[in-house]
Amino acid sequence: MGAFVVDLEMLQDVIDRMCGFERNLSQWLDEVDSQVRRVHAGWTGAAAAEHRCAHDEWRAGAQQMHLAVTALRRVGATAHGNYLAAVVANRAMWG
Q: Using one digit for the tens of pLDDT, what is the confidence trace for 67-77?
A: 999 999 999 99
pLDDT digits (tens, 9 = 90+) for 8-26: 999 999 999 999 999 999 9
Between CA 32 and CA 7 the distance in angstroms is 37
Element (H, E) at 31: helix 8-41
Domain parsing of the chain, residue ranges: 26-85
Q: Is the pLDDT of residue 3 over 90?
A: no
The amino acid at 53? C
Within 13 Å of residue 40, how many CA atoms lie on the same side as its CB? Answer: 17
Nearest to 8 by CA among 94, 70, 86: 86
Q: 10 Å Cβ neighbour count for 21?
A: 14
